[in-house]
Structure 1
């Protein structure tokens, strides 16, 4: 067995707020292999994004361990790509220069960075738009730029925090297919946070269900659907619907519990 790409061992994260200590994640234990695509679902505000922050080294664990490629996380680990819900495209830079930013920060020459960027701009389907600026792009095109920005650095771990949630349904489906095409065979481990259970099942090798806050693992489900996948076509299969019903049965109780908690707290 290869060394896991990511391990959380009874990881807990507490935050101090105006009303006292709040536990966002509690005793969370997950192991993710290199090349595995894991989707994380759970109620709103249950700690999914906090989990990504622990792996990325943006937040230290209050207790427990977070290990990336066999080493405890003490800062931002090497080889991590992070794609947020809101893109980080710089409005004053062209598509090409936005994608080249990462390699430049990592010490590549301007020529080498632009060559790598041009290759990824082409791979995400934006050839011919290298000189365009963000305000000239559609929402889907901006997401393609953000995807190229992330993948140009050849990450061994890809953290994705609802990256397609703001897109319309058709564009979202296209971006899901694009992500699978670019990830397939890369060997990168993926944690994909989403509120969309259909999206989670269509993309992932495994779906992890988190409890209402404080988040801990409630259940995990292997997604035994063949690859490569067409995300729109696979949603119509009997196997997909059976998996959906099984995962939703686990998730819906946590969604209901989170709603009851919000009602009792007056939110």
Structure 2
């Protein structure tokens, strides 16, 4: 078994699943990107510094790092919501000056509209892009069913559980068939059981697309369970400290994969790198508070 050999583990009889195909050319490139913000004190805060990173088409990349290090800022640079102060950000080889076409963004807090039904929330993206109401609703029905909400089309957000609202938010994003999916801790507010269900749902839906995913999370287990590659960021100001390939078989069940020897091997390897940055961030926070 190739994957177990990579990690120096004894072979198993059960064969592995083939790995996901990925395009060789990067769809996202950050070249020495730096982002500075004006701080409330009047000074300048550097969120990310000399950040260099690439993501290939079809890849699932998770980004981890200490709290407040600049992970979300990285997504803002790729999405065009924030311009870099220095360096270059490219999407499909074109420099980013505004929100690029084909980019979907799923935030930590869902963006469902309380006055619209599930169906009309999901249909709003196609409507904004020029589809007729009937066409948009037809597309929305497909995605409402794909995320497991068939029968809830006429419900409103206040009638839904947290997990169901996340399914609506996921359908809102995927109905536009993005080539690049940016996700900023989308499941962090969910309970443990619902979170695992949503992680499996995300992998199932992503497997049917060629989308590149950049997934920001504080949860290293989540990062490894989902991703092909885990990027570790330094304490603020963030830059890439290390990048680890996750050679675990697909398709994955996130609960089952966490119990394998391969998963534990990868976890220990990445945590050794991440722990140093978490401790450094804590020490710096203590000095500022003193």
TM exceeding 0.5: yes
| TM-score (norm: length of structure 1) | 0.99
Residue 111 of structure 2 is aligned to residue 88 of structure 1:
yes
CA distance in 2, matches of 1:19, 1:105: 38
* Aligned match of 2:158: 135
Provide the rounded CA distance (Å) in 1 between the counterparts of 2:251 and 2:43.
48
- The 2-side partners of 1:165 and 1:253 are apart by 23
Unaligned regions of 5+ residues in structure 1, if any?
Answer: none
Q: How does 1:14-33 map to 2 (within 5 A)?
A: 14-17=36-39, 18-33=41-56
Equivalence map 1:1-267=2 (5 Å):
2-17=24-39, 18-266=41-289
Following TM superposition, by how much is the alpha carbon of 1:185 offset from its aligned partner in structure 2, in angstroms? 3.4
Larger radius of gyration: 2
Task: With the length of structure 2 as denominator, give the TM-score of the two structures.
Answer: 0.91
Aligned length, in residue pairs: 267
d(CA) in 1 for partners of 2:209, 2:187: 21
Q: 1:160 Cα shift?
A: 0.2
Q: Kindly state the Cα deviation for residue 19 of structure 1 after the two structures are TM-superposed.
A: 4.2
The two structures, once aligned, show a CA RMSD in angstroms of 0.9
Alpha-carbon distance in structure 2 between the residues aligned to 1:225 and 1:3: 22
